[in-house]
């Protein structure tokens, strides 16, 4: 399945392959196209999510190099931090999380529930830091450690999604389906970049439609292209040319800030397919999916794959957003 040499160490952490399902009721509601969903919310590690694939290679290297302590970074409600904490618990590693207030919220619910609750339950040490000086002091106190970038998004982490593209190619072949588009959330870019490289290696011709949820489209595009190049170099392959686009229309006021389009998309997936999205990543990516369909940019005769990257715990720090009382003010 994998185009990745065995010289890259990997620890198996997830449930593979994740399900590939048709969304017939959603397709009917929207009047086409044929929508499928790749369920990386079902990776099996502490509520699942896309970071598990990246962590198999990142922590594979950490274990191979003999590290006992892992440090990573993220927003307060980081899904990546939660999955890193779970993976470290599985592997018997000490986990240190340095979380920043990247969203304009600091209330008790936001900083103690959702992913933060799970971080602590999983045994990670959580520190909320506000600036570079606090990060530097924390790192000095922690001492020697294997450091993982935000989102696990470097060329090593992207290998998880090179492998995921090969997994998808096998599933598509068994089902005799050819995907025309893959719609996925893009933040720190490791998932999108890995899929671009992996799709080319696996012979998938689907065009990648990346929905920016962290930074504007131009910066997200730069991040993806940088990681596509770095991941291709790592594998000794030529970077794939074209076949991808980044859309910034559904970011809204900023990262982690709810939008009406996101709320509609989360409700629609829940009520047509029984699938729960999150408000930060998959909710906005699904809003992008709906927007591309309704604007005619995705035609009714296409097979469109929505890649569910997880994030369920983040839903629980936004109860007001989904109770009909409107979107929380930033």
Does a structural domain hold residue 33?
yes
* pLDDT value for 327: 45
* pLDDT value for 2: 52
- The domain that holds 87 is classified in CATH as 3.40.50.1100
Question: Residue 136: exposed, middle, or buried by beta-carbon count in 10 A (0-12, 13-18, 19+)?
Answer: exposed
pLDDT one digit per residue (tens) for the chain, 330 residues: 456 888 999 999 999 999 999 999 999 999 989 999 999 999 999 999 999 999 999 999 999 999 999 999 999 999 999 999 999 999 999 999 999 999 999 999 999 999 999 999 999 999 999 999 999 999 999 999 999 999 999 999 999 999 999 999 999 999 999 999 999 999 999 999 999 999 999 999 999 999 999 999 999 999 999 999 999 999 999 999 999 999 999 999 999 999 999 999 999 999 999 999 999 999 999 999 999 999 999 999 999 999 999 999 999 999 999 986 544 544
The residues, ordered by sequence, that sit 6+ positions from 270 with a Cβ below 8 Å of its Cβ are: 276, 277
Residues 187 and 68 in one domain: no
Does a structural domain hold residue 40?
yes
Number of domains in the chain: 2
Is 176 one of the catalytic residues? no
Residue range of the domain that includes 127: 51-152
| Catalytic residue of the set 78, 153, 187, 232 | 78
The residue among 129, 152, 175 that closes a domain is 152
CA nearest to 40, candidates 312, 232, 266, 315: 312
* pLDDT value for 324: 62
């Amino acid at each position: 399945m994998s185009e990745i040499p065995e010289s890259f160490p990997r620890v198996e952490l997830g449930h593979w392959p994740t399900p590939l399902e048709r969304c017939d009721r959603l397709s009917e509601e929207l009047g086409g196209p044929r929508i499928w969903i790749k369920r990386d919310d079902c990776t099996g590690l502490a509520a699942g999510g896309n970071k598990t694939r990246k962590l198999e290679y990142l922590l594979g290297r950490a274990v191979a190099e003999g590290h006992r302590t892992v440090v990573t970074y993220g927003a307060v409600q980081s899904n990546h931090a939660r999955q890193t904490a779970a993976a470290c618990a599985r592997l018997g590693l000490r986990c240190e999380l340095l979380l920043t207030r990247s969203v304009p919220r600091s209330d008790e619910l936001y900083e103690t529930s959702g992913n933060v609750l799970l971080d602590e339950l999983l045994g990670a040490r959580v520190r909320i830091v506000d600036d570079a000086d606090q990060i530097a002091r924390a790192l000095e106190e922690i001492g020697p450690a294997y450091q993982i970038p935000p989102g696990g998004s470097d060329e090593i982490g992207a290998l998880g999604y090179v492998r995921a593209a090969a997994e998808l190619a096998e599933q598509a072949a068994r089902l005799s389906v050819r995907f025309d588009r893959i719609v996925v959330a893009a933040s720190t870019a490791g998932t999108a970049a890995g899929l671009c490289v992996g799709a080319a290696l696996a012979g998938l011709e689907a065009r990648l439609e990346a929905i920016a949820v962290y930074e504007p489209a131009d910066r997200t595009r730069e991040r993806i292209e940088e990681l596509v190049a770095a991941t291709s170099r790592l594998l000794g392959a030529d970077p794939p040319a074209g076949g991808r686009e980044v859309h910034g229309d559904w970011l809204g006021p900023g990262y982690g800030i709810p939008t009406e389009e996101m709320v509609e998309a989360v409700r629609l997936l829940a009520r047509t397919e029984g699938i729960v999205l999150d408000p930060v990543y998959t909710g906005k990516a699904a809003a992008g999916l709906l927007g591309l369909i309704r604007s005619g940019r995705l035609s009714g005769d296409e097979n469109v794959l929505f890649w569910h990257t997880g994030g369920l715990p983040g839903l629980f720090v936004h109860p007001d957003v989904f109770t009909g009382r409107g979107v929380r003010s930033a």
